[in-house]
Amino acid sequence: MISLEHLAVDDIHVWRGDRHVLKGVSLQLGRGELLHVWGPNGAGKSTLLRVICGLLRPEQGTVSWAGEPIARNPAVYHLALAYASHEPALKADLTALENLRFAVGLKRRVDDAELRASLAETGVLTCADLPARVLSAGQRRRVALARVLAVRANLWLLDEPYTNLDASGAQLLSGLLEQHRDRGGSALIVAHQTLVLGRELRRLELGP
């Protein structure tokens, strides 16, 4: 029986012009599982993530969530996921809190106390009322992670989430991923470096 929170990616093919970027990629991700997608630059890691999100339609293959192709009811699927691209996706002229209020507010009703708690959890509560333009790259990354937390999604799709994080930030992110897994959530992490997480982590290597 297929779990209600089960991601299935089946035989994905993507071409970019003459380049066959993804050649029949398949994967499964169930509750409480973390999957690390890794490989060299240009292997198609981010492309795969965009396909899984539904931002990019593959030439061949299907992505299913809870047993249904995501194209059938994208709104339900999108509400179940939290996506962090390699860009922090913050508006420079809005404060960190305003950015979260907007992005999280589109997915669920949320109050400022909850958003501040998420910012505190990622160590950037002091930046809550500062415009994103004055934050460092690492702080912006932490605000983006606070958004992922505040959305309270079952499925996390993270593209190079360790970029710009210092050692304590990287440790914090690993801890958040483990907590998410322990609560029954699942995550697909695209990263070119080796990830050190407390418990076993599944890996999928994409070739050039």
Give whichever of 80 and 201 is closer to another protein, judged by the CB atom.
80
CA distance 34 to 154: 12
Q: Could you write out the DSSP letters of every residue in 67-117?
A: TEETTTSHHHHHHHEEEE-SS----TTSBHHHHHHHHHHTTS---HHHHHH
Does 130 engage in binding with another protein (CB under 8 A)?
no
72 interacts with another protein by CB under 8 A: no
Instruction: Give CA separation, 89 vs 92, 94, 115, 144, in Å.
Output: 9, 12, 16, 7
Kindly state whether residue 53 participates in binding another protein, applying the rule CB under 8 A: yes
Closer CB to another protein, 23 or 57, in the complex: 57
88 binding another protein? (CB under 8 A): yes
135 makes contact with another protein (CB under 8 A): no
Pairing state between β 68-69 and 60-65: antiparallel
CB of 68 to another protein, least distance (A): 15
Question: CA-CA distance, 21 to 62, in Å (whole number)?
Answer: 16
Decide if residue 105 touches another protein (CB under 8 A): yes
Cα(45)–Cα(67) distance, integer angstroms: 23
Given 31, 78, 152, 192, the residue binding another protein (CB under 8 A):
78
Q: Examine residue 152 and tell whether it contacts another protein (CB under 8 A).
A: no
Q: How far is the CB of 73 from another protein (least distance, A)?
A: 10
Does residue 107 bind another protein (CB under 8 A)?
A: yes
**Does 15 interact with another protein (rule: CB under 8 A)?**
no
What separation in angstroms does the CA of 164 have from each of 81, 113, 136, 170, 172?
Answer: 23, 27, 9, 9, 13
97 touches another protein by CB under 8 A: no
Instruction: Provide the binding-site residues for another protein, judged by CB under 8 A.
Output: 53-57, 75-76, 78-79, 81, 83, 85, 87-94, 98, 102-103, 105-109
